Amino acid sequence: MSDLSDLYQEVILDHNKRPRNFRTIESPSHHAEGYNPLCGDRLNLYVQVDGDRITDVAFEGSGCAISKASASLMTDELKGRTVTEARELFTRFHQVVTTPPDQPVEELGKLSVLAGVREFPVRVKCASLAWHTLKAALDREDSTTTE
Amino acid sequence: MTGLRASRIGGPGPIEVGGTGAGYDVARVREDFPILRRQVRGRPLVYLDNAATTQKPQAVIDALGGYYSGINSNVHRGVHQLSELATEAFEAARETVRAYFNASAVEEIIFTRNATEGINLVAATFGRANVGEGDEVLISAMEHHSNIVPWQMLCEASGARLRVAPIDDRGELILEEFERLLGPRTTLVAVSHMSNALGTVNPVEEIVAIASRRGVPVLLDGSQAAYHMPVDVQALGCDFYVATGHKLYGPTGIGVLYGRRARLEAMPPYMGGGDMIASVTFEKSTWNVLPYKFEAGTPNIAGAVGLAAALDYVTAVGLDVIGAHEQDLLAYGTSALEQMEGVRLIGTARRKASVLSFVMEGIHPHDIGTIVDREGVAIRTGHHCAQPVMDRFGVPATARASLAMYNTREEIDTLVRALERVRDVFK
């Protein structure tokens, strides 16, 4: 079934199995906890911002393959970007995963593997949890939820 | 075969049972549930989310349609014929519910929206009148949120304390701990008859016996138990029993609270409004008699009629044979899942019914749910509104396959094949 393999692509399965930047950062400049009460996914996101640039980002937590892979991919993407770029990327990513599946979406490099969630409406929140948590961290809110 | 049909709307009329014979003919029963003929994602529906809600037999669907197309009217008010017929059907439904739970009188049967409302009703009325500062409400560690939060709210408002009797690694209530926690300040015990997340059937007879010796009233949450096993509230001796219609093969939006008459008499009303009063002046209102004192406003008449049709159906098939069939499926499913590598059952109580809650090593339940759904298999994944149970077993969530009268061994085989597919995706 093609749509199932659209969702569980190799890249996603790989990031689920071996999540990148899966650790804590001691006293980061920004931190937030994200929680999806629907499935119990929970993640702690640590962001180190020096000047206006993200120099380190890491996460910890438990969640489904989609939320874990999304967080892992996100942390890979964010390192070295400015805060403004990160916020822009949040908006673009959000746009991609919430566009109806029959409409074209922007190419977002590695992040595009998550566009498959559009076929699975209840799973969109899994893919966006890390990103909402990023926004909360940058906005200096302590916790966020995708419910 | 024409199916099991109530002979007239809402009434406990004669029911024709065909085809079940000495054994249990599940194929025959399946014919009565039209939704089971549909496909999901191009495959036959395998509905294993019955602990969330059960599917409806044609008799229930017909009762709802028949009510609205034949006798729809408001109850307890009009002198016209339709109102009489609607009132008759509504009160006949109450009698059907009374008989189903073997309450001693129809006055002890209160219609609610669901089990949650039944529990909230008791918390707001019995609780408000009897639970004060320093008192204790005793629940168990396997409760659904609906049997936790209303008591937390009551305790917060009254200064009472919520005590929680622990469960063991099998998911069984530790009865000695329960007995120890039942103290001189305990004013109410509220426990589930059967756990929705674990499938554990609690030793409610012993729980009631222990509480009764100390004169403490007991509320049993029968949301899960009431469609798997016969419930006799008089034999149980509980003071309150709540159930919800939509798990009893009936419609959503209708539930039942059984209350022992003396308790209900002593309780203040729940909501104020029409139907629950005897007289109203601006100075003072007086309350209607039981059960109407607790049924403010126009009730869910069609829901009650539909629920009665569901109970008639269940009774005609027979709770004993339903229970035996489900136990067979449970044993079959338990053994099938136990043989799967990396699968761990959560909830292995010795007395258990119809629930297979499990986790798969390295795979989140949510991913399991999505993948088996593609095979047409509907299961529930998540915390099942029982977060403390998840915490107790150290898992964020489980996958749960839950059984009902129309499920088959073949459907369990389909579930197992779907779970093998899950493992393939994540290998």
ipTM field = 0.89
**Cβ atoms B353, B197 nearer than 8 A:** no
Q: pLDDT tens digits, residue range B217-239?
A: 999 999 999 999 999 999 999 99
- Do residues B377 and B231 share a domain? no
Structural domain contains residue B188 = yes
pLDDT at B13 over 80: no
B374 contacts on A by Cβ (under 8 Å): 1, 3-4
User: From CA A59, how far away is CA A21, in angstroms rounded?
Assistant: 6
Q: Are B122 and B257 in contact (CB under 8 A)?
A: yes
Q: Provide, rounded to the nearest whole percent, the portion of chain B with pLDDT above 90.
A: 91
Reported as a single tens digit per residue, the pLDDT across B347-357 is 999 999 999 99
Q: Does a structural domain hold residue B350?
A: yes
User: Domain check: are B128 and B197 in the same one?
Assistant: yes
Closest chain B residue to the Cα of A8, Cα to Cα: B425
**Pairwise CB contact (< 8 Å): B367 & A39:** no
Residues paired with residue A48 on neighbouring β-strands, in sequence order: A56
CA angle B350/B354/B359 to nearest 5° reads: 80
Under 8 Å CB-to-CB from B417, ≥6 apart: which residues? Answer: B375
For residues B139 and B174, membership in a common domain is answered with: yes
CA-based nearest residue in chain A for residue B371 = A4
Q: Which of B277, B319, B378, B385 is catalytic?
A: B385
The answer to whether residue B104 sits within a structural domain is yes
Closest CB to A39: pick one of B371, B381, B426.
B381
According to CATH, the topology of domain A2-145 is: Sufe protein. Chain: A (3.90.1010)
Q: Which domain, by its residues, includes B256?
A: 63-315
Judge whether B343 lies within some domain. Answer: yes
Question: Which of A62, A79, A42, A64 has its CA nearest to residue A114?
Answer: A64
CB contacts of A123 in chain B (<8 Å) are 366, 370
pLDDT at B264: 97
Domain end among B282, B315, B348? B315
- Residue with the larger pLDDT of the pair B77 and B187: B187
User: Measured between beta carbons, which residues in chain B are less than 8 angstroms from residue A3?
Assistant: 374
What CA–CA distance (Å, rounded) separates A54 from A52? Answer: 7
- Residue B165 lies inside a defined structural domain of this protein: yes
pLDDT in tens, A44-72: 999 999 999 999 999 999 899 999 999 99
Q: Of B297, B315, B333, which residue constitutes the final position of a domain? A: B315
Interatomic CA distance for residues B311 and B60, integer angstroms: 9
Q: What is the pTM of this model?
A: 0.92
Range of weakest confidence among A113-122, A136-145, B43-52, B102-111? A136-145
B155 labelled catalytic: no
Which helix (H) or strand (E) covers residue B209, if one does? helix B204-213
Same domain, B164 and B306: yes
Contact between B366 and A120 using a beta-carbon 8 Å cutoff: no
Q: Is there a single domain that holds both residue B311 and residue B164?
A: yes
Please, what is the angle between helix A65-78 and helix A83-98, to 10°?
150
Total domain count, chain B: 2
Chain-centroid distance of CA A11 in Å reads 14
Q: Compare all CA atoms of chain A with the CA of B41 and give the residue at the minimum distance.
A: A1
- In Å, how far is B364's CA from the nearest CA of chain A? 5
Average pLDDT over residues A117-136: 93
Boundary-marking domain end, from B315, B342, B371: B315
Q: What is the DSSP letter of B30?
A: H
- How far does B194 lie from chain A, in Å, by closest CA? 23
Token look-up 């409406």 returns A121
Does a structural domain hold residue B236? yes
Per the listing, tokens 């916020």 go with A87
Q: Check which CATH number belongs to the domain holding B237 and give it.
A: 3.40.640.10
Judgement on whether residues B306 and B218 belong to the same structural domain of the protein: yes
Do B261 and B406 lie in one domain? The reply is no
The residue ranges of every structural domain in chain A are 2-145
Report residue B145 as tokens: 């949120």
Task: Return the pLDDT at B4.
Answer: 42
Strand, helix or coil for residue B336 = helix
Mark whether B77 and B206 lie in a shared domain. Answer: yes
CB pairs under 8 A between A and B: 52
Which phi and psi angles does B220 have, rounded to 5°? Answer: -110, 130
